[in-house]
Chains A and B, each alone.
Chain A
Amino acid sequence: MSAADIQAADPPATMDQAPEVIGPEPSEGASRRPRKAGALLPYLLIAPAFVAIAAVFVWPLVKTVIMSFQDVGRRELWTGEAAPWVGFDQFTEILGDGEFWDVVVRTIVFMAACVVSTMVIGLGLAMVMQRMSTWARLLLTAALIAAWSMPLLVATSIFRWFADSDYGVLNMVLTEYLGLDFQGHNWFLDSTQGFTIIGGVVVWGAVPFVTITLYAALTQVPKELEEAASLDGAGTGGVFRYVTWPVIKPVFQMVATLSVIWDFNVFGQVFLIRGNKPEPEYALLGLYSFEKAFESNSFSQGAAISLITVLLLSGVAVYYLRQLLKIGEVE
């Protein structure tokens, strides 16, 4: 089953008349002969975007690599003096630092917890949405969209307040409605509890994207196939495994991969919920690199940590790229 089957839940009019033919070869190949006239035109068209991307992404990436082999501090930054080359010193220092590994482990655990919760909730909600009444679906969609469009900073402020020890609604509900003793409880003293709240913001913010995307994918599963499978005696689990899952798999994998990348780089939520000065036990990789660079004024250390982050993610990245390219090939 190809990912090209995943079409819009509500496709623009033009797509209706042009259902995609999925075959071993792209069917339009023949009509796309290289044209002699205007052979330069496509290059002119991509030039502005290419230059912009190179300037803002590629060059800084090169710069990150260069900096990580130097020792750039505040003085070099302001005076433009050439920074001394230090070889692999930054890397050996970072990799030999126990604190760095604590941060790596914390980042991975936090990412995994957030991704798993987001995907489970997102898929569950998408499947429930498919089966509920129209009015309930509209109501839920409205809430999802409202949550989605809420700025990160706003969402974070609200969750911070929810968890406020004195004036937070969370302690109130736990104490008054559930009879637990949470009066004046500070959720951020213990970083595990603190990360539960932060994870709440992350998952709450990510669920709408995942749910709506997976719901759109689910609408592409042929109803007749599901019916046929259940007539043939497949249980709910069987129908899901053999009929539903193969269709939504490419979209699911892609959304999951994106979530991994996003949750690995969670920054704003922690930074803001801890009032711009997170304690060391709240450091995730992005924050750690930021602190090294801007607070310890060791820009090279910050760059080296960033580079290690990119390398750690590149495993996932390759997977994501393969998925996207596979989908991109079907045109």
Chain B
Amino acid sequence: MSVSTPQVLRPDRKKNRLLFNVVGLLAFVVMAFPVYWLVISALRPNSEIRSYDQTLWPSSITFDNFQRAINMPNFGTAIQSSLIICVTAVVGAMVLSTIAAFAIGRFRFFGRKAFMMVLLVVQLLPPTAMLIPIYIQLNDLGGLNEYWGVTTIYLVSTLPFATWMIRGFVINIPKELEESAMVDGCSRMGAFWRVIFPLLAPGLAAASIFSLINAWNEYLLAYVVLQDNDKYTLNVWLMNFTTSRGVDYGALMAASTLIAIPVVVFFMIVQKKMASGLTSGAVKG
């Protein structure tokens, strides 16, 4: 996103630029407002949240909401569940998709096109439409209310896209690099791990953020498959703030802020690589 277009500005362009900046700032306000509201509400005293007279700025700042959120039963186990499920799913998806992407990016073999078709077609299946058979399948296999059931689904649901994306990076790495490593005595797989794998880093970064966001934010499957309070992922646990008597918005926003932090941090770290990964890997293919 760092591409700027240095050019000599003619006077009329300068005037236009001001107009575009104003439009851009308006868009900034609209896009950023919910984020602002999330953070500011988490820090607002409860009296202001339950007020008929909402103000755009808080009058004072408090950490009560965070305290209420953290003291909610099962916060710790929910973090644990989310971490176990997401880390396993992301790592697994990256391993499987990298080796599959290497295969379809580097080799010509019978069935390659068919496999690529499968990768594309399964991306089109609506996950909600698959929920019922997946539920029944997990029930048959004893995977209901188990971490591995949810983990497997998350892992596989990002697999096609991750493979397609990483493949875009594999084909952009000159074959000669590998070949010269093999001439120097590396085995085929040795050449892959030592030479190709490090160059795939941007692709892996982009694919892993997709995978992480998918798993970290998924709600419905976890809601349906996990049944014990102490197995809930963070997203399912968040529903505790909504009761029949109303929503505890302050605590909900505080908890939401806490949940969003890991994703935002991860996103910030890989964001630059991600922007290139998106376009060069997924779109260009």
Tell me the A residues contacting B by CB distance below 8 Å.
3-4, 6-12, 14-15, 17-18, 28, 31-35, 38-39, 41-43, 45-46, 48-50, 52-53, 55-61, 63-64, 67, 72, 77, 80, 125, 128-134, 136-155, 157-162, 166-169, 172, 204, 207-208, 212-213, 215-217, 219, 223, 251, 254, 261, 264-265, 267-268, 271-272, 275-276, 286, 289-290, 293-294, 299, 302-303, 306-307, 309-310, 313-314, 317, 320-321, 324-325, 327-328, 330-331
Contact = CB atoms under 8 A, between A and B. Distances in A.
A168 B54 contact: yes
Contact of A223 (B5, B38, B249): B5
Contacts of A167: 49-52, 54, 249
Given A34-B108, A52-B156, A216-B279, A64 B132 contact: yes
B280 A8 contact: yes
A157 B132 contact: no
Contacts of A276: 239, 242
17 contacts: A7-B279, A8-B277, A10-B3, A14-B172, A39-B109, A53-B159, A63-B137, A128-B27, A131-B16, A131-B20, A137-B24, A140-B28, A147-B35, A217-B279, A219-B3, A261-B126, A320-B124
Contacts of B273: 12
Given A3-B283, A14-B172, 15 more contacts: A10-B2, A18-B174, A28-B175, A32-B107, A41-B103, A41-B107, A46-B115, A58-B122, A64-B130, A128-B23, A143-B31, A216-B278, A327-B283, A327-B284, A330-B285
Interface stretch (B58-66, B68-76, B257-265): B257-265
Contacts of B193: none
- Most chain-B CB neighbours within 10 Å: which of A38, A45, A162, A331? A45
Interface string B15-49: 01100110111011011101101100100000001
Contacts of B235: 151, 153
Contacts of A129: 24
A242 B49 CA distance: 52
A158 B37 contact: yes
Given A14-B199, A152-B219, A272-B219, A64 B156 contact: no
Contact of B21 (A11, A12, A132, A313): A132
A49 B124 contact: no
Given A10-B3, A140-B24, A157 B252 contact: yes
Closest 9 CB pairs of A and B: A306-B129, A8-B276, A45-B103, A60-B133, A56-B156, A49-B100, A286-B128, A8-B280, A265-B126
A212 B275 contact: yes
B276 A158 contact: no
Given A140-B24, A289-B132, A53 B107 contact: no
A49 B116 CA distance: 12
A35 B3 CA distance: 41
B279 A6 contact: yes
Interface string B113-149: 0011111111011111111111011011000000000
B28 A50 contact: no
Contact of A42 (B32, B112, B139, B156): B112
A49 B247 CA distance: 42
B102 interface: yes
A307 B130 CA distance: 9
Contacts of B120: 320-321, 324-325
Given A145-B271, A146-B32, A254-B283, A11 B276 contact: yes
A45 B99 contact: yes
Max chain B C-beta neighbours (<10 A), residue from A144, A271, A324: A324
Contact of B37 (A8, A162, A302): A162
A8 B242 contact: no
Contacts of B157: 56
A207 B34 CA distance: 14
A284 to B, nearest CB: 10
A136 B21 contact: yes
Given A8-B280, A52-B155, A139 B25 contact: yes
Contacts of A290: 128, 131
A59 B248 CA distance: 42
